[in-house]
Amino acid sequence: SPAAPEFIREEAEVHLFVPGNSSQAVRELLQTHGVTHAVMLANTKELIEMQTRNASTDPRSGMSYYEKYHSLEDIYHWLNKTAMENPDRIKVILIGSSFEKRPLYVLKLSAISTTNTNKKAIWLDCGIHAREWIAPAFCLWFVQYSLSFYESNRDIATILDNMDVYVLPVMNPDGYKYTWTTDRMWRKNRSTREDSRCAGVDLNRNFDANWCTEGASHHPCSEIFCGEFPESEPEASAVASFLRRNKEAVALYVTIHSYSQMLLFPYSCTRDLTENHAELLSMAKEAAQKIKRYYRNNYKYGAGAETIYLAPGGSDDWAYKLGIKYSFTFELQDRGRYGFLLPPSEIPRACNEALIALKTIALRVVERIPPPA
């Protein structure tokens, strides 16, 4: 962190993932240049092994299943099982496939009986960046929570009575699979091109929102490579096509990332403010305050470009420009202690923080849905 060297700023913390055999050379360089530094995690290999060892193939009843990270195969299995067990509340929609031809499944989550003919929808995607494992974990957590507490939790009932929820648990299945088999710190998708030895496009630079301007790269080896053209990647194209088809219904767009503990909204692709900046700011502020009150954890909030850095081609900006005026990016735990290697023991708290933020914002959006004519 940050995602690419060009985002490094004076007096700002930088987090490096250093191969063991280079650690001495890196230390000497830092010392030579008088850069203050400390080892945050010495045992990354053990942490990664602990995360993958936890995976089980059978979705057990109870929350313990949701307090672990799961392989892509497990998540597909969970998806089918959850849909089969809840046929009146969950519908599985295939919206496309990845570069390596893995299916992109969206779960449509609905209340069982509702007479509301004016239903809007929430879009929730997780795992656009492969290494951010807490993101798919949250999508699973959210679905399970909604199914379990619809009858007993007034907030989730209010949300589902007024809005369907489209959930894409893993937007980047090829990259996610690769983080389980080959490189835990992989970020991009796994598309290849003839003119480069480097694989992958940053899917969150591949949408048509000031595409590939400052904050993205035309170099295929960069972590923030924007691709050949907007929506060049099948994963971004599938999501964009689905949202274009459903743009009248989708009132709230939320994309889940890690790490840094932030609630962001457009724009990230420009330093300009959105028309409804004050409204988005007040929603994010209320959500951050709720997290602080209930979980004693601090989340920064604000427009992406002014809160972190310029990041063109992001899905949240693109959704906003499409007409989805409530669009947010949640950056979940933590602030760098474990970074992308957040231990499974931290999943419940991280997910509960995201859940309270999502509920807070969704309830505000429900209030703004105009009554049927």
Given a contact cutoff of 8 angstroms between Cβ atoms, the answer to whether 5 and 225 are in contact is no
Give the span between the Cα atoms of 324 and 120, in whole angstroms.
11
Q: Which of 132, 223, 231, 331 is catalytic?
A: 331
Omega before 334 within 30 of 0, i.e. cis: yes
Count of CB atoms situated within 10 Å of the CB of 363: 17
Q: Which helix (H) or strand (E) holds 319?
A: helix 315-322
Given a contact cutoff of 8 angstroms between Cβ atoms, the answer to whether 17 and 40 are in contact is no
The SS3 assignment for 120 reads strand
Give the span between the Cα atoms of 104 and 72, in whole angstroms.
11
Q: What are phi and psi of 328, to 5 degrees?
A: -140, 150
At position 159, the amino acid (one-letter code) is: I
As beta bridge partners, residue 213 has: none
DSSP letters spanning 158-203: HHHHHEEEEEES-S-HHHHHHHHHT-TT--S-----TT-S-----G
Q: Annotated catalytic, 346?
A: no
Active site members: 331
